[in-house]
Amino acid sequence: MSETPKFTRCEDVAPLLVFYTCDELTSEEREQIVAHLAICDGCRAQLSEEDALQAAIDRMPQAADQFESSGVLLAQCRSELSESLDELSAPKVKEGWQPFGWVRAWMALRPGWSAAALLLVGAIVGTQVLQWVPVGNGNGNGSALKVYAAPRITSDTLNKMEVSGIISRPTGKIQLQLQAEQPMTLSSDEDGADVRRVLTFVISNSDRFDAGVRLDCVEALRAAAADEQVRAALLSAARRDQNPAVRLKALDALRDMAGMPAVRDVLLETLQHDSNPGVRVEAINLLVRAIESGYELPELAPEAPDSESPAQGMAPQTLPLPGGDSEQRILRALDELRQHDSNRYVRLRSAAALRQIAQQDMQ
């Protein structure tokens, strides 16, 4: 038989009437309650009260009906939730360690005191600390630092520029007109370093610039040949420029420097290897001039053995070689030209140069 307890007594039925009214009993429980109610007036009266209570509860106005009838609250909630989700989705800014955070907080709250404190700190640092810290050249005198304006010409500008004009004034002032991303004019008075940089760049890059421009640049640099970088550029042009006029001009610009070993090396090299007779003659002239003017010739770099051998082989047929070894090398080179140069004028000029040197030695 069924094991379900029988609800036959009122004290068993009464607690279940609450669930009977709200339909939370099993079908078997319900059947037993119904059977008991049919025979019990007291439980039926209690059920009526439960029904009345249930009805009163159902009639209770709901807060949700009053507050949310317009849907404004729901819209507000959705908006706030969306904002919160945005914040959650956004990557967090990592708050690292903030040194002196308390100082900054203190200063933010007291701007007047902060300004005064900063001025005081600046004054103390300016007057006291500098005594302990070596400045400039280290002599502690507080000597002024040389401050140069930033160069206007950058490497990028040099690579892209074109020279549209070089104006050399009788006063020695040079003005350069350049076509770059922005057209610009440089003056040796104001942009001396930049002018020199442009001019040396032009003569060092003969493949990029017109021969006429290179000639003008060499001419413009003539006055600055004593400068090491300028001299190096002129020597480079004398040795490598494709145009003989430029090489000639470069040698001419170095005229007063012929006594210097590096210059004499280039003159000797030109004498022996330059393809243009006019340039070779100019090299002869400069070497003779250097010797005649009494320049003391420093030791030249030793010549390569293979170039020495023919010279030594020619020695018995040449004039006696006065002076030191370096001068003898020049004389041998001149004698070589006198005998073998393809150009008649060069041979004649070499012979004349040897005679001049011999006469000077005899004197």
Partner 1 sequence: MPLSRWVLALADSSGRTSGSAAALATVTSLPNLDERALVSQAQAGNRAAFEDLVRRYDRDVLRLALNLMKRPEDARDVYQEAFLKVYRNLHRFRFECSFYTWLYRIVTNVCLDHLRRRQARPEDQAPEIHPNRMEEGPRDFFDYQKEHRPTLDPERTLIGKEIQSRIARAMERLSPRERVVFEMKHYQGLKLRAIGDALGTTEETVKNSLFRATRKLRNELAELR
Residues that bind partner 1 (CB under 8 A): 15, 18-19, 22, 24, 49, 53, 56-68, 73-74, 76-78, 80-82, 84-85, 88-89
Report which DSSP code applies to 35.
Answer: H
Closest to partner 1 by CB, 75 or 301? 75
Separation between Cα atoms, residue 280 and residue 284, nearest integer Å: 6
What is the nearest approach in angstroms of partner 1 to the Cβ of residue 23? Answer: 8
Closest to partner 1 by CB, 73 or 124? 73
Q: Which phi and psi (to 5°) does residue 91 adopt? A: -65, 135
Give 312's contacts (C-beta < 8 A, 6+ positions apart): none
Largest Cα separation within the chain, whole Å, is 166
What is the nearest approach in angstroms of partner 1 to the Cβ of residue 120? Answer: 49
Task: Report the sign of the C-alpha dihedral through residues 133, 134, 140, 143, in that order.
Answer: negative
Closest to partner 1 by CB, 66 or 155? 66
Residues 204, 237: contact at Cβ < 8 Å?
yes
Closest to partner 1 by CB, 76 or 205? 76
What is the nearest approach in angstroms of partner 1 to the Cβ of residue 17? Answer: 10
What is the nearest approach in angstroms of partner 1 to the Cβ of residue 156? Answer: 47
Which residues are paired to 185 by β-bridges?
Answer: 177
Closest to partner 1 by CB, 26 or 159? 26
- With residue 246 as reference, give the H or E element that holds it: helix 244-253
What is the nearest approach in angstroms of partner 1 to the Cβ of residue 3? Answer: 18
Closest to partner 1 by CB, 78 or 160? 78
Closest to partner 1 by CB, 52 or 116? 52
Separation between Cα atoms, residue 252 and residue 269, nearest integer Å: 15
The sheet with strand 162-168 has its strands ordered as 162-168, 174-179, 184-187
Separation between Cα atoms, residue 272 and residue 258, nearest integer Å: 16
**Rounded to 10 degrees, what is the CA torsion of 177, 178, 183, 189?**
-50
Separation between Cα atoms, residue 133 and residue 128, nearest integer Å: 9
Tokens of 74: 């729901």
What is the nearest approach in angstroms of partner 1 to the Cβ of residue 86? Answer: 9
What is the nearest approach in angstroms of partner 1 to the Cβ of residue 60? Answer: 6
